[in-house]
Amino acid sequence: MITLSELETLAATRVLDHLDRQATLPVVTRAACQGDVSVLRVTTPPATTALPQAGYPVVRGEAGGNTHSLHAAPGAGVCFTPADGRGDELVLGTLTVPEGAEAYLLHPEHGGMAIAPGTYRIGRQREWAGAWRTVAD
């Protein structure tokens, strides 16, 4: 388990000052949401593309900032395969975290969360506002 401060260092990303940098990150084992991004454990085939050392921006902020990004410690063996864009627009990709490792979802405004070993669907959320629409964070 790591703190938000340690994740900031790993990801080279600062979070907003109102967040407690000494807080230990919550660990996702089944399902969680962070703003407009969802993490859902699945039984689909695992991801096969190594997560880049610099992380991966799963949702970029509307105005260029506040990006939701995935990260992992160097050598952790975490994989993320982005969705090909031909299916469900709510699916962003598949994340696979091997035994003994953790992945991290970071957002400057919401902070971070750790993701336990397993395979997860990373997606967008939607809401009903007279019609279905993608949640904008």
Q: Are 114 and 102 in contact (CB under 8 A)?
A: yes
Q: Domains of the chain: which residue ranges?
A: 4-134
Give pLDDT tens digits for 71-97: 999 999 999 999 987 777 899 999 999
Where residue 35 falls (left for φ over 0; alpha for ψ -120 to 50; beta otherwise) is left
Strand boundaries in the chain, DSSP class E: 27-28, 31-34, 37-41, 56-59, 68-72, 79-82, 91-97, 103-107, 111-115, 118-124, 126-128, 132-134
How crowded is residue 78: how many other Cβ atoms within 10 Å of its Cβ? 23
Give pLDDT tens digits for 45-62: 999 999 999 999 999 876
